[in-house]
Amino acid sequence: IQGHTLSRYIDSSRKNDPKLAAMIVRKVAKAMEEAHGSGVIHRDLKPANILTGQFGVTYVIDWGLAKVWGEPDIAHPEMGHDEDPALTPVGRRYGTPFYMAPELARGDAHIDGRADVFSLGLILYEILTHRQLINGETMQDANTENMIFDIPTLIEIITEVMTLHPG
């Protein structure tokens, strides 16, 4: 597949086009709608797993951690507290902490498509504000923040975006 990751797009410019960002997020949302309609949860949706190509083509990649609703999850080993939270941990059955829904971070047994929708919201926030909502130097930091961070209100997000993208 030819194209660039959404991570590269975010990193390449501090003046990302909000219309292009909305188009990309809409296409990813449509892909998730299709997957969820088939009973599949991605569980590792993040900018590095979204490719944008020529002519507006957008791909959601790396379905290796996907799960079919209702199927049992295979147990995973305990994660090291000093692992890099920007990466999917080795041996982890799902998720990257910076883009993980709280129910995934907690290890809840019953996960559905809302986890992917939450991750997509975090991605949109990052595209528009040029910063991640969940941060941390280590896995423990990111998981702790994931449990306690305050989700900004829509007005707060719009104000921040308008500051970055006036007009």
Residues carrying an active site annotation: 44
Spatial distance between the Cα atoms of 156 and 138, rounded to a whole number of angstroms: 27
What are φ and ψ of residue 4, in 5° steps?
-125, 150
Spatial distance between the Cα atoms of 125 and 35, rounded to a whole number of angstroms: 22
Residue 42 gets which letter from DSSP? -
The torsion angle over the Cα atoms of residues 42, 48, 53 and 56, rounded to 10 degrees, is 60
Total Cβ atoms within 10 A of residue 146: 23
DSSP string, 74-89: PP-PPPPTTS-TTSPP
> Which residues partner with 68 through β-bridges?
40
Element counts in the chain: helices (H) and strands (E): 6, 5
- Residue 43 one-letter amino acid: R
